[in-house]
Every structure is written in C-alpha cells, then in structure tokens.
Amino acid sequence: MARGGLSPSVVYQKTCVWLTLISAPICTVVAVFAEPLLRIFGSSFTAGTPALRVTAAAALINSATGPLATVVLMGGKSGINLAVSVIGLATNVAASVVLVSAFGLVGASIAWALTIVVTNGLGLWIVDTRWSVGVPIGRISQIWMFVAAIIAIPSTVAVSLAGTGAGVIVCALGLAIYGALVTRSGCDWAVLTAVERPREVT
C-alpha cells in the first residue's frame, strides 16, 4: 500500500505505541489518586472513586488500540464503521440497563468499559483480517509493565502505608524517571522497534 515510506501497518503500530506512552502514566495517576482528585470537587464526589478507576482502565485499553475508527474509515469501509458503532451503542444500552440498576455509578462505568472492549475488539478484528494491521501487543505490554513497576505499584504502596502526601512524592519521582527515560530513549526503545507483521497487505 505504501511505497517509499512507512506502510499503513507500521504507522498504525507507532501511533498505538505513542498513545500508550503518553496515556499510560496519566491513566495510572488518575487510578491511584482517584479519591483525592474527586475530593477536590467535594467530599460527596469520592463515592465515584471506583467508577473513576474503572474508567481510567478502560481509557488505557482504548488508547492502546489506537485510532481504529480512523483506519476503518480511511480504508473506505464507512458502512462497517457504522455497524460497529451501532453494536457498541446496543452493548452500552444493554449493559447499562443491567448494571446501573444493580451497581449504580460503578455499573455505568463498567458498561462503558465493556462497550470499549466490544467495539475495539471488533475494530481490531476488522483491520487485522482486511489489511493485516495489528496492535504491537508485546511493546505495549512492556510499557504497561514499566509504568506499573515505577509508578503504579510504588505509589499505591506509599499511599497505603504513609498517606496521599507520600504517594504524591513517590509518584512524582516515578513520573520524572519515566519522562527522562522516554525522552532519552523512547524513540529507539518503543517506537522504532514496533515492527510490522510480516504479511502482505492487500
């Protein structure tokens, strides 16, 4: 499909990696400090802490799969994209009817997360079967584990043992290390090594 430059598959993979590099620490901070962040708006808002954490996890998955709808549309399959959107809407409505009545706000966030999983799963299947475009799962998993090791786990432990203040300090240190490493070697380590799958694109 692409001559004299990067193929669409490689461009998509690099986009997924860059989105993950940027969104992973943000989603992690939101999940770890969900309660104090919501407390900014008032003590009553802290009831939404579990829902915010579910939403952060769903957003992390959503960013890792990249601009799937854009890929499908650029492939000239607007009808398929519409069908996926309709399925996503039906999933959200059905899941909300079941989960919101049982779990309230948390149920709504779970329904939204389930919708993301369904629509993105369908999108991944479509772009893989039609254009052999796949998510660089190995590279994205490495980023997730790296963020968990230097930000999520240390910050969570610090919050549990010493409170939010200590957690913020530990998180800031982790973010500084992460930012320094990504700035110094992010392109070589994460992006340029996202390798296109060795299959013909038709």
Compute the average pLDDT of residues 46-68: 95
**Residue holding tokens 């193929």?**
7
Residue 157 to residues 110, 162, 168, 173, Cα–Cα distance (Å): 25, 8, 11, 14
Name, in order, each residue with C-beta under 8 angstroms of 33's C-beta and a sequence gap of 6 or more.
155, 159, 164, 167, 168, 171
Compute the average pLDDT of residues 67-94: 94
- Residue 194 clears pLDDT 70, i.e. is over it: no
Local confidence band at 187 (pLDDT 50, 70, 90 cut-offs): low
- Residue 12 clears pLDDT 80, i.e. is over it: yes
- Residue 33 clears pLDDT 50, i.e. is over it: yes
Give the Cα separation of 136 and 11 in Å (integer): 11
Residue 59 to residues 20, 64, 109, 110, 136, Cα–Cα distance (Å): 10, 9, 11, 12, 17
pLDDT value at position 10? 85
pLDDT value at position 8? 77
- Residue 81 clears pLDDT 70, i.e. is over it: yes
Amino acid at 60: L
pLDDT value at position 188? 55
Q: If residue 94 lies in a helix (H) or strand (E), which one and from where to where? A: helix 78-103
Taking only the tens place, the pLDDT of each residue in 124-182 is 999 999 888 888 898 899 999 999 999 999 999 999 999 999 999 999 999 999 999 88
Most confidently modeled of 90-104, 132-146, 181-195?
A: 90-104
